[in-house]
Amino acid sequence: MNIKGFLFTTVLSVLILFANGQTKYAIVIHGGAGVMSEEKMSTEQQSAYKSKLNEALELGNKMLKEGATAVDVVVKVINILEDSPLFNAGKGAVFTNDEKVELDASIMEGKTLNAGAVAGVQDIKNPINAAREVMYNSEHVFLSGKGASEFAKKQGLEIVPNKYFYTDSRYESLMQLKKQERERTQKDNTGTVGCAVLDTHGNLAAGTSTGGMTNKKYGRIGDAPIIGAGTYANNKTCAVSCTGHGEYYIRLGFARDISALMEYKNMDVKTACREEIGKLSELGGTGGVIAIDANGNIAMEFNTSGMFRAYLKSDGEKEIAIFK
244 binds ligand ASP (CB under 6 A): yes
Neighbour count for residue 144 (Cβ, 10 Å) = 17
Minimum gap (Å) between residue 66 Cβ and ligand ASP: 31
- Backbone φ, ψ for residue 174 (5° rounding): -65, -45
Nearest in space to 159 (alpha carbons), one of 116, 121, 193: 121
Question: Is 300 an interacting residue with respect to ligand ASP (CB under 6 A)?
Answer: no
Contact window for ligand ASP (CB under 6 A) among 75-83, 175-183, 239-247, 269-277 = 239-247
* Distance separating the N- and C-terminal Cα atoms of the chain: 58
**Residue 32 binds ligand ASP (CB under 6 A):** yes
Q: Is residue 117 within 8 Å of 142, Cβ to Cβ?
A: yes
Q: Which of 129, 155, 134 is nearest to 76 (CA)?
A: 129
**Cα(198)–Cα(205) distance, rounded to whole angstroms?**
7
If binding is defined by CB under 6 A, does position 60 make contact with ligand ASP? no
- Nearest approach, Cβ of residue 9 and ligand ASP (Å): 50
Q: Which of 92, 222, 285, 296 binds ligand ASP (CB under 6 A)?
A: 222
Select the residue interacting with ligand ASP from 102, 123, 223, 301 (CB under 6 A): 223
Q: Which is nearer to ligand ASP, 21 or 145 (CB)?
A: 145
Give the closest residue to 309 by CA, choosing from 213, 187, 194.
194
Q: Is 192 a catalytic residue?
A: yes
**Number of residues this chain uses to bind ligand ASP (CB under 6 A):** 14
Query: Which neighbouring-strand residues pair with 299?
Result: 291
Instruction: Kindly list the distances between the CA atom of residue 207 and the CA atoms of 107, 176, 210, 267, 309, in Å, as whole numbers in the listed order.
Output: 4, 31, 10, 22, 14
In terms of CB distance, is 24 or 30 closer to ligand ASP?
Answer: 30
In 155-220, which ranges are continuous DSSP H helix? 168-180
Q: Are 230 and 223 in contact (CB under 8 A)?
A: yes
Q: Which is nearer to ligand ASP, 194 or 202 (CB)?
A: 194
Which DSSP category does 312 fall into? E
Catalytic residue among 69, 96, 192, 208: 192
When asked if residue 246 is in the footprint of ligand ASP (CB under 6 A), the reply is yes
Kindly tell me which residue out of 79, 214, 237, 243 binds ligand ASP, with binding defined by CB under 6 A.
243
**Least distance between ligand ASP and beta carbon 147 (Å):** 20
Interaction of residue 120 with ligand ASP, rule CB under 6 A: no
The mark string for 180-219 relative to ligand ASP (x by CB under 6 A, - otherwise) is: -------x--x-x-----------------x-xx------
H/E run at residue 291 = strand 287-293
Does position 231 bind ligand ASP by CB under 6 A?
no
| Phi, psi for 151 (deg, rounded to 5) | -60, -45
Which parts of this chain interact with ligand ASP (CB under 6 A)? 32, 187, 190, 192, 210, 212-213, 222-224, 243-246
Catalytic positions are 192
